[in-house]
Amino acid sequence: MGSHSGLFSVRSAWELMRRKKEKVDKYELMWGKGLPFKINFFLWRAWKGRIATDDYLKRMRINIVSRCW
């Protein structure tokens, strides 16, 4: 329903696809220029809550010793 008439057209589909989403400041900080890709990827995973911490590994039933004495 991209056109005013309610009919499908290639132009209306193209306009829907190319609409820019609002910029998110968090993304600009994560994917900023000058940072190595590893750091960018780590920040993205931390923001999504996908860092392999002890709790996360326990939920996946992977038992490891987290601290050495």
H-type alpha helices, the chain: 10-18, 25-30, 37-48, 54-59
Give the Cα separation of 8 and 43 in Å (integer): 41
Question: How many whole angstroms from its chain centre is CA 67?
Answer: 30
Cβ density class 16-46: b for 16+ within 10 Å, e for less: eeeeeeeeeeeeeebeeeeeeeeeeeebeee
10-residue mean pLDDT series, the chain (69 residues): 70 76 71 84 84 76 70
Q: What's this model's pTM, rounded to 2 decimal places?
A: 0.45
